[in-house]
Structure 1
Amino acid sequence: MNDKCNIEGCNRDCFQDSNQCVLHCDKHDYSTDYYNISILRNFYDELIDYIIESILEFRRIQVDNKELLREYLRSGEASEEIRDLFKDEVIVFNLIFFPCRDARDKFDYLRVLTQLKGIHFNYCSFSATSLNIQDVQVFYQDCNFKQYWMIQNTSLLENVNNVIYQSCIFNNEVSISAWDGDNTLGIALFTDCIFHQKLSFENMIFENKIFINSNDSEIEIGALRITKCVLQDDFILNNLNARSILIKNTEFKSKFEMKDSHIAMMFEAKNTNFEGMFDVQDSKFGGFECFKCVFSNVASFEHCNFSVGRDCIDCMAIFKYTTFLSFTSFRNSRFHLGLDLENANLKEVPNFLNIQLLSDNTNRETLRIIKNSFDKIGNHIDANDFFVKEMKKYKQELSRQGGNWQERIILWFNEKASNFGQSYIKPIVWMLLMAIFYSGLIYAQENDYLYRMYPPFNNVFSWLSQSINNIAKNIIPFKSFAKEGMEFLSLIFYIMFASLTWQTIVAFKRHTKR
């Protein structure tokens, strides 16, 4: 006699060389199992016996002819008495491994499952890719899905969280889309599940929450795709660890919350409306792009890190043709590759307090928006910091485009003299250095050092000096300040000292303005 199955409470014989019975042993893809010495047929027969044993054990009654029960599960045909036997029962499948199936097989176990009122899959495994049992109440708890899994429309077997899948592991892709023209789902789907690969929702209307996760649980999703969907209840997916997220042509009618999450690659939202509050506080993004999106309510990007671990400019935080109809906050966020709000529409002044732009990729229009936001709330100190960044970006633009040379000279002088009005130390230092240099020129003039350098040119030096000094003498307001014999040089230094004095005054005002 074969050894018994090693699953606790199971007294069935082991199947072939396995140490488990045909219900509990490992299964593979359909073609492998189909040619494996009738494993599918044996599974079908043993599953029927398992159901009958569960019902009879629970009902604590005796049935003389179990074959009648088997026939009902195979065909759905039986007496009213036998139908009543199955009518109010929920079958719990423990640790059973459900193989791939084909509706053309006579031993397709799906026909058996459809005869039941409710099913609780407890610690079960599936190599099957779907179970279309929409008239049966279902609950999957701690199950393991080995292959691609397509979520089918079904009824909910009541449980603590009232979800279909609780603490399940999906090893391959998972998808849900419209079923034969019906695209409305009114029940919650997941609690604390793990998705090692892609999770896709397409062309669906969700009337209930998709995720109801524990507050402290970390959720893993390889890639999340939401396309052409309408979510009428809150979408809450905190503590998420995912490679990428793509949301396209979708409407979020209620709150969108994805706090304390890490999206390693890209978060993309395209042609999507967020009508409720949008909150991704304390999250990290490898790349971030919103394209033609509308945020109708408060949008919170506080304490976020954008472009983490990325060096491609396409991964910078971009809000292109995006409209913010309410308050938006980027407070305490870090943008490792810069921020682009050039083509965003902002109805209210955003909050940029303590943000960090850790690269030079941010365009001038975005810097102007940030500067103006600080000015409008009276935070002139931070506004001045971003004014400097704006001017430096403007200087770069003029250099690349070959802009007006006068503006380029003025911007160059402002940057070197006082860092665009941010430093009062620099102009003071420049004035001290120029005073020393000017004193040296006066000393050299008084001791005729210039004429001693190369005497044959003395006549030329004398004529040139007299010509330019005579021009300077005719500038009447300046005449009283000119050093005799050095009128032209005095004019140059006077202009420089006046400019540096103004730069010093401006810098002091910017640091002390209320």
Structure 2
Amino acid sequence: MAEYTCSVCNVKFYDREKKFTNDENKCILHSEMDKNKYNGLLNELFIERIELYIDKNILNNKDNKVTFYNVKIPIFKTETRDSTYLWDKISKKFEYNNFKILFIKSVFYGEEKLSSLKNNYLIFEECDFLKKVIISDCKELIFSNTRFHTYLTYKNDLKEQSINSNLSFNDCIFNIIEFKGVTFNNELFANSKENKSFKLEELNFENCILKNRLNLLNNNYLLKINKLYFINTILENKVIIKSCEIKDLRLIETRFKNFCNFEKNKFVSLSLNETIFEKMVSFQQTKFLTNVDFYYVTFKEHSIFKNTIFTNELNLENALFEKNSSFLNISAHEREKDYKDKYKGKPINIKVANRETARIIKDSFEKQNNIIEANKYYAVEMKEREKELEIIKNPLDSIVFFFHKLSSDHSQNWMLSLFWIFLISYLVTSVKTTYGMFETILYNIFIYGVFDKMANIINPFSIMTRGESLTFSMLLFKIIIAYLIYQFIVSVRQNTRRK
């Protein structure tokens, strides 16, 4: 019987394997033959070889470590066989706990369910999982520079208790990740500073607890995520989700117990519901490209929205701010930066969903003694109040708000007040000059001078008229001018105080 030696693991193998793999230089563990389809004989030979390999390495093993290098693992799952078949066989070979099982530069062609190894350490370095990966219960599970081509899930089927897991990913590439009912003790994503290849399509946490830091910052490289969901999850340590483009972010009944950094992100779709931020949270320089509704979201500490962009409506009506928040330089459109990385131009007032949102923003500026910005959102608050008024139900308030806006844009436009002062004065002067019968006509209109006599009695401008008689029409004119002058003064002073 011919004998062959594997160039990778240096084990002896014979014609039975060589005829199957058609490779004289590699055993069935390392053969490059096509393993992408189920083959019963292939699986039988593979299990035999891997058990022999484990037996050989366990003997006189002082380090409690077994390494599989460049192994090509075939498909084991069938209609009658679960994907844990290989791992059940491997676990039976480790009679003692605390063994480190390493797979380096290996390829897994089939669906893998990593279980039955809860008393051992399982480490994957530079591996490829071509199909679905299901994690059940492992003492410690580490993936480094590993690529998951399809779907990775870690679910707890025991509804009564949560699984404690020491799981971590270092510089890995993902497609879809789903975690459910798991308590994570380690930092999940520990990426190096220059990891250009880090990718993540979907990440879903449901009923989970993260005790360590969650870091999705990819340094200077934009990380694109299609879906990022936190549902009924508790994050006990810092959360850094920075410089990401996320198409769909959902924070549902989730509690952040430490500092949250959501800076320089781009959110295309967003759902926020009954979420609590117990420590400071920052959304600086983040772009919200959709309607934003902080629905029953609680901010227990400071919240920062400095230089944040809201292209659509912002709704804070149901949000609770227990401490002050910063909305400095929020804008409806993105602004360019100069060579000193400073913004050009002025921010544009954002769209608010209701008057309460404008009031919250205004109140935030007032608490910081920022009267200039507070006045801007005072005007927005007035405009929203005007939308609420119905002329049939509130005729007098509607008229007041109409003239307030018409005369000075709610005390924000001093040029508008000045314009009306000159225009009305010009029209009245022109009419008096052009029509000689002007006073006579007005005299007859106002019941033969009765209103003129009343005007002289209540004349508040007696100092200006030097005791001269005042017609009712001129009284109305002076009242209008006095109102416009007041609006002009208030509008000019709006950069220092509103009242």
Using structure 1 for the length normalisation, give the TM-score.
0.78
The match for 1:330 is 305
The match for 1:311 is none
CA distance in 1, matches of 2:312, 2:445: 55
Instruction: Say if 2:432 is the partner of 1:442.
Output: yes
How far does residue 139 in structure 1 lie from its aligned partner after superposition?
A: 0.8
Q: Deviations over 1:79-116 (max 9, x none)?
A: xxxx6435645333233221232597799543542225
State which of 363, 376, 379 in structure 1 corresponds to 2:370.
Answer: 379
CA distance in 1, matches of 2:304, 2:135: 37
The match for 2:328 is 353
SS in 1 for 2:323: coil
> Once structures 1 and 2 are overlaid, which stretch shifts more, 383-392 or 19-28?
19-28
SS in 2 for 1:326: coil
CA distance in 2, matches of 1:178, 1:333: 38
> Once structures 1 and 2 are overlaid, which stretch shifts more, 271-280 or 371-380?
271-280
State which of 2, 25, 33 in structure 1 corresponds to 2:33.
Answer: 25
Q: Deviations over 1:398-457 (max 9, x none)?
A: 25x9641221221121112111101111111111111111111111232x4x79xxxxxx
Query: What does 1:384-463 align with in structure 2 at a 5 Å threshold?
Result: 384-399=375-390, 403-446=393-436, 448=437
SS in 2 for 1:134: strand
CA distance in 2, matches of 1:505, 1:462: 31
The 3 A distance-change label for structure 1 pair 383 and 502 is same
CA distance in 2, matches of 1:429, 1:5: 97
Q: CA RMSD in A?
A: 3.6
The match for 2:128 is 144
CA distance in 2, matches of 1:274, 1:402: 47
| Matched-pair contact (CA < 8 Å) for 1:26–1:97 | no
SS in 1 for 2:412: coil
Q: Deviations over 1:265-321 (max 9, x none)?
A: 2x11122211111211111111233211221111111111112xxxxxxx4222111
The 3 A distance-change label for structure 1 pair 402 and 170 is farther
| Matched-pair contact (CA < 8 Å) for 1:236–1:257 | yes
SS in 2 for 1:282: coil
The 3 A distance-change label for structure 1 pair 487 and 462 is closer
Instruction: Say if 2:152 is the partner of 1:177.
Output: no
The match for 1:262 is 245
How far does residue 335 in structure 1 lie from its aligned partner after superposition?
A: 1.0
Q: Deviations over 1:350-401 (max 9, x none)?
A: 11111114553432101100001111111000001111111111112225x9
CA distance in 1, matches of 2:433, 2:274: 68
Identity %: 24
CA distance in 2, matches of 1:272, 1:326: 16
CA distance in 2, matches of 1:203, 1:513: 54
Query: What does 1:57-136 align with in structure 2 at a 5 Å threshold?
Result: 84-85=59-60, 88=63, 90-102=65-77, 108-114=85-91, 115-116=93-94, 117-126=99-108, 127-132=110-115, 133-136=117-120
Using structure 2 for the length normalisation, give the TM-score.
0.80
SS in 2 for 1:140: strand
The 3 A distance-change label for structure 1 pair 462 and 512 is closer
The match for 1:473 is 453
SS in 1 for 2:328: coil
How far does residue 179 in structure 1 lie from its aligned partner after superposition?
A: 6.5
Q: Which amino acid aligns with 1:97?
A: K
Count of aligned residue pairs for this structure pair: 454
The match for 1:505 is 489
Larger Rg: 1
Instruction: Say if 2:395 is the partner of 1:365.
Output: no
SS in 2 for 1:147: coil
| Matched-pair contact (CA < 8 Å) for 1:338–1:357 | no
